[in-house]
Amino acid sequence: MPLNSIKTPVTASAPTKTVALYDTTLRDGGQSEDIHFTVVDKIRIAERLDAIGIDYIEGGWPGANPTDNDFFQQIKQRPLRHARLVAFGSTKRSGTSVAQDPMLQGLLRAETSAITLFGKSWTLHVSDALGIELPENLAMIHDSIRFLKERVDTVFFDAEHFFDGFKANPAYAQQVLQTAHEAGADCLVLCDTNGGCLVREIDQITAQIAQQASVWGAAWGIHCHNDAELAVANSLTAVHNGATQVQGTINGIGERCGNANLVSIIPNLLLKMACRTGISQQQLTQLTRLSRYVDEITNRVPQKNQAFVGTSAFAHKGGIHVSAVLKNTLTYEHIDPKQVGNQQRVLISDQSGRSNLLYKLQELGFNDLDSQDRRLNALLDEIKLLEHRGFQFAGAEASFELRAMEAFGQLPDYFQLRGFRVIDERRVNADNERTMGSEATVKLLVDGRLIHLVDEGTGPVDALHTALCRALEQYYPQVNAMHLVDYKVRILSNGGSGGTDAKVRVLTGWQDDQHNWGTVGVSDHIIAASYDAMVDAVRYKLYKDGVSPTAEKRTGVVAI
């Protein structure tokens, strides 16, 4: 087929192959640096994984720690609807019998219908880590799997370090797999434990294993780590070559550089590789929500540029890109973002063109704009000038919306600024402890009346916010329902010295019981930048609440 005849992206048609999704977020993912799951965390995540259609959920290593023990006990009271819970552990120890081995007994006490055992497939690990002879390692694998298979329905075998082992001694690595299969393992999982294999290596080795597994009549799967940032590509390559189980974690969390990211693997399998999984097209629309839920539980900031589910995954900034996307989304989007529960975004910046601006204005409800309206050019020029001065509207869309409303005469005049002052003071209390405090004064003109008010706070921003809200609450009590939830400062050197007198940009995040919004302020004075962002936030709150400039007027003292 000539290249110029391809008009649309390659996407999956009717499913041709079934792939089981095996999630190890609660076990392998829990080994991430700075991540610690409580029992409640693990139960909540397991229920979300079950709801989206994951087939197997590896809950942990029973006997390894109290948290995993408690999880396997408590999850029994919260039965899963679709997924099967899996206990994970090692083959028996050298010199012990399977009946007396404490690890195997711990796996059985978890009372799961599926167990995953890992064993050594690299001769280096057998001789150096275990310190045993190669035949004994094979016997340990065989006896452990046979023992468990007689007592539980399903046993998977993770061939640890399989690809490194295959490269060192392919005959022994394959002998490990054959031994596990003959002992009764339901799936032989090939592990790139060090995460250093290239795609061509995974391709060549899995192609050979696929042929051998076909002779044995064995099912096989893939488990990749991301140390070379190829875990997703390696996993998909294995599936292409015949793997029927793929293991990974949500958002790719895991030890060192993490595991294969199921958030990327799942849509690739469903939308591009014609595979059938336990996840329906409707459930796939919950993928973005699941990704952000796990980030919230693990106290991680979501990666904006994460494939499929990141807030930037379908964001367009360049004017040429936006112009093309508005005509045909396929020009710069490889899938419909709604398929994974995400959404298209158009960013406003100094790289924006008329198309960006029209798109954003249509989102705001300006549906009957004349593309030749002079106010469009004026607004676009203003945005580009402000961004040149250091403003960033991509992270502060509320500030952009306010300027758009002002440009078209639709923003009510709630109040006018007349000035502010902040005094910071370090005090020593009765216990001889040094504390900081701030006093802020604001002057506002509201409904023709001058309000001059002083208040205190723990810091200058807090004091200003408190004073501003107190000055406005007699007219607009809604301001007391908004809360600051994020505050970022960025130094903007703009070719200057970039020292303590540099210009700064302040991005603030706010929320009430219905909305979240961001605003921006830029100044060579950090308090002024903060105040400007704060004032934008207050105006946006009043505008979104549909408040009239005079409807909420109150009487009383206006100068304190």
What does each C-alpha distance from 190 to 27, 197, 352, 545 come to in angstroms?
18, 12, 48, 56
pLDDT exceeds cutoff 70 at 355: no
Q: Which CATH number fits domain 12-279: 3.40.50.300, 3.40.225.10, 3.40.50.1580, 3.20.20.70?
A: 3.20.20.70
Give the contacts of 328 (CB within 8 A, at least 6 positions apart). Answer: none
**What H or E segment, with its residue span, contains residue 464?**
helix 460-473
Least confident of 88-102, 159-173, 276-290, 541-555: 541-555
Q: Angle CA(170)–CA(175)–CA(178) in degrees, nearest 5?
A: 130
- Summarize the confidence of residues 153-164 as an average pLDDT: 98
Q: Which CATH number fits domain 416-544: 3.30.160.270, 3.40.50.150, 3.40.50.720, 3.40.50.9100?
A: 3.30.160.270
Q: What is the structure's pLDDT at 384?
A: 78
Q: What is the pLDDT of residue 553?
A: 46
Alpha-helical segments (H) within 184-314:
199-216, 231-240, 262-272, 281-284, 287-297
pLDDT of residue 5: 38
Domain boundaries along the sequence of the chain: 12-279, 315-407, 416-544
The C-alpha atoms of residue 245 and residue 221 are separated, in whole angstroms, by 4
Return d(Cα 458, Cα 489) in angstroms, integer. Answer: 18
Q: Find where tokens 């209390």 sit.
A: 429
More confident residue, 85 or 499: 85
Task: Say yes or no to pLDDT of 108 above 60.
Answer: yes
Say whether pLDDT at 327 is over 90.
no
Task: Read off the pLDDT band of 33 (50, 70, 90).
Answer: very high
Query: Do strands 503-511 and 516-523 pair parallel, antiparallel, or not at all (unpaired)?
Result: antiparallel
| Rounded Cα gap, residues 343 and 144, in angstroms | 48
Task: Tell me what pLDDT residue 556 has.
Answer: 40
What share of the chain in percent tops pLDDT 90? 64
State pLDDT tens for residues 500-549: 667 898 989 898 888 888 899 999 999 999 999 999 999 999 998 988 88
List CB contacts of 7: < 8 A, sequence separation 6 or more. Answer: none
Model pTM greater than 0.75? no
Residue-by-residue DSSP string for 286-328: THHHHHHHHHHHTT-PPPTT-TTTSTTTTEE-SHHHHHHHHH-
- Residue whose pair of structure tokens reads 């597994």 in the numeric block: 213
- Give the list of residues 6+ apart from residue 368 with CB closer than 8 angstroms, or none: none
What confidence category does residue 11 fall into, taking pLDDT thresholds of 50, 70 and 90?
Answer: low
At 560 the pLDDT is 37
pLDDT confidence band for 361 (50 / 70 / 90): confident
Q: Which amino acid is at 275?
A: C
The residue with greater pLDDT, 369 or 462, is 462
Angle between helical axes of 287-297 and 39-52 (0-180°, round to 10) = 170
